[in-house]
């Protein structure tokens, strides 16, 4: 019912199917049609039990959201309301709400960009919304308890420098993924660290996954939240000796370390990973081995001992020869002395 009518007299009549990323456009005659796009964020979430009439009669959600994001209310538009199943319309029920955040569609095309929301501003808004849901602060911010939210990042306009990356991507209907954000109930160490020699990076670096209460991947990566790693001893006390990039951002729901290094030895140590000083998880026990003497060092000592032995073997005959020459010289001197004495008596 939303597709352009082929008999329409409106040149450029169009409909964009966001589910399949498909634009339907009516083109007639020889007059060209220019397509202008606006960067927006699509947000979808489910509200707790509330009637559709009460939702429309109350503007608290849009007003509170605008105050939280520090943007005008006309930048936020309710694009769709999907009521939950109910036998009676007036009965309190859950609602799925879809919002569009960004500049409203202009009535007239203009090259003036003054007052328009920039791509970086929209990305910051997406991160702020995601962080509010992940940390469980939506009730105090929006006045509603929102347990999860779907966020679609804004698509840059062709005039933006980021458009080059978008244009280089293969053409796919789902090229722009929907990020699922929810309260992070737990962290899971999917790849456990494997210790190497002190001063060397772990031979297997840890990977940590953020999940909600249902085990779904939570896209912490759209926010500025980071994961911090600290080293603990067998008594659960924080100790020094962990180097490398100990605080890293997420990529989607994953935090993948690349250069964690332990600079000390010990038994039953562990690494604790912390998200926003609230959600924590520990690695398995680590035995950090002491620095062993390499086999190359033993060969070097053996070589040195062999060299010393060879030198001693060479020096022994030389010393013997010198001592022999000294004895011969002493014997010769004694003979001369005796001869002189004998001649003196004569």
Q: What is the rounded CA–CA span in Å between residue 345 and residue 340?
A: 9
Measured CA angle at 49 (ends 45, 54), to 5 deg: 90
| Residues contacting 160, CB < 8 A, separation 6+ | 39, 119
The pLDDT of residue 161: 79
HEC letters along the chain: CCCCCCCCCCCCCEEEECCCCEEEECCCCCCCCCCCCCCEEEEEEEECCCCHHHHHHCCHHHHHHHHHHCCCHHHEEEEEEEECCCCCCCCCCCEEEEEEEECCCCCCCCCCCCCCCCHHHHHHHHHHHHHHHHCCCHHHHHCCCCCEEEEECCCCCCCCCCHHHHHHCCCCCCCCCEEEEECCCEEEEEECCECCCCCCECCECCEEEEECCCCCECCHHHCCCEEEEEEECCCCCEECCEECCCEEECECCEEECCCCEECCCEEEEEEEEEECCCEEEECCCEEECCCCCCHHHHHHHHHHHHHHHHHHHHHHHHHHHHHHHHHHHHHHHHHHHHHHHHHHHC
Say which CATH class 186-288 falls into. mainly beta
Give me the pLDDT at residue 76, please.
Answer: 92
With tokens 């808004």, the residue in question is 125
Residue 170 confidence (pLDDT):
74
CB atoms within 10 A of CB 125: 24
Instruction: Round to whole Å and give the CA distance between 66 and 99.
Output: 12
Exposure on the CB side of residue 138, measured as CA atoms within 13 A: 20
The pLDDT assigned to 215 comes to: 93
Burial of 260 (0-12, 13-18, 19+ CB in 10 A): buried
The reported pLDDT for the residue numbered 43 is 93
pLDDT for residue 319: 45
Tokens of 63: 């007003």
Residues of the chain with CATH 3.30.70: 37-106+116-182
Joined together, the tokens standing for residue 214 give: 């249902």
pLDDT at 314: 43
Closest CA to 280 of 195, 213, 210: 210
Bridge partners of residue 189, in order along the sequence: 208
CATH of domain 37-106+116-182: 3.30.70
Tens-digit pLDDT profile for the chain (346 aa)? Answer: 678 888 888 888 888 887 777 889 999 888 888 887 788 999 998 876 666 666 665 567 888 899 999 999 999 998 888 776 544 444 445 678 899 999 887 777 776 667 788 888 999 999 999 999 999 888 888 877 888 899 988 888 777 777 788 778 776 665 567 899 999 999 999 999 998 888 899 999 999 999 999 999 999 999 999 999 999 998 999 999 999 999 999 999 999 999 999 988 888 899 999 999 989 999 999 887 766 544 444 444 444 434 334 444 444 444 444 444 444 445 445 444 444 444 444 4
How far are the Cα atoms of 17, 18, 34, 212 from residue 27, in angstroms, in the given order?
18, 20, 10, 46
Tokens of 40: 């927006």
Q: Where in the chain is the domain with CATH 2.60.40.3960?
A: 186-288
């Amino acid at each position: 019912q939303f597709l352009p009518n082929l008999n329409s007299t409106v040149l450029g009549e169009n409909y964009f199917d966001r589910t399949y990323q498909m634009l339907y456009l009516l083109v007639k005659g020889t007059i060209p049609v220019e397509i202008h796009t606006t960067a927006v964020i699509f947000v979808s979430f489910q509200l707790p039990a509330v009637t559709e009439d009460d939702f429309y009669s109350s503007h608290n959600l849009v007003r509170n959201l605008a105050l939280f994001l520090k943007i005008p209310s006309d930048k936020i538009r309710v694009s769709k309301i999907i009521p939950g199943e109910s036998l009676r319309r007036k009965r309190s029920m859950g609602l799925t709400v879809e919002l569009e955040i960004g500049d409203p569609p202009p009535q007239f095309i203009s090259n003036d960009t003054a007052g328009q929301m920039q791509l970086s501003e929209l990305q910051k808004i997406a991160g702020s919304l995601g962080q509010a849901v992940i940390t469980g602060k939506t009730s105090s911010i929006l006045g509603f308890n929102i347990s999860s939210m779907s966020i679609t990042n804004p698509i840059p306009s062709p005039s933006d420098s980021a458009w080059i990356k978008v244009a280089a991507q293969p053409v796919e209907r789902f090229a722009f993924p929907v990020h699922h954000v929810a309260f992070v109930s737990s962290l899971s160490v999917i790849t456990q660290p494997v210790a190497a020699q002190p001063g060397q990076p772990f031979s297997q670096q840890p990977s940590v996954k953020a999940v909600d209460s249902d085990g779904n991947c939570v896209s912490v990566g759209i926010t500025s939240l980071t994961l911090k790693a600290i080293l603990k001893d067998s008594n659960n006390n924080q100790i020094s000796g962990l180097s490398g990039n100990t605080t890293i951002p997420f990529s989607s729901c994953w935090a993948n370390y690349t250069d964690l290094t332990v600079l000390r030895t010990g038994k039953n140590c562990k690494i604790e990973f912390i998200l926003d000083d609230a959600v924590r998880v520990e690695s398995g026990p680590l035995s950090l081995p002491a620095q062993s003497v390499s086999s190359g060092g033993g060969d070097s000592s053996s070589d040195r001992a062999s060299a010393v032995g060879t030198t001693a073997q060479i020096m022994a005959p030389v010393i013997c020869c010198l001592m022999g020459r000294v004895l011969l010289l002493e014997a010769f001197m004694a003979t001369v002395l005796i001869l002189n004495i004998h001649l003196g008596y004569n």
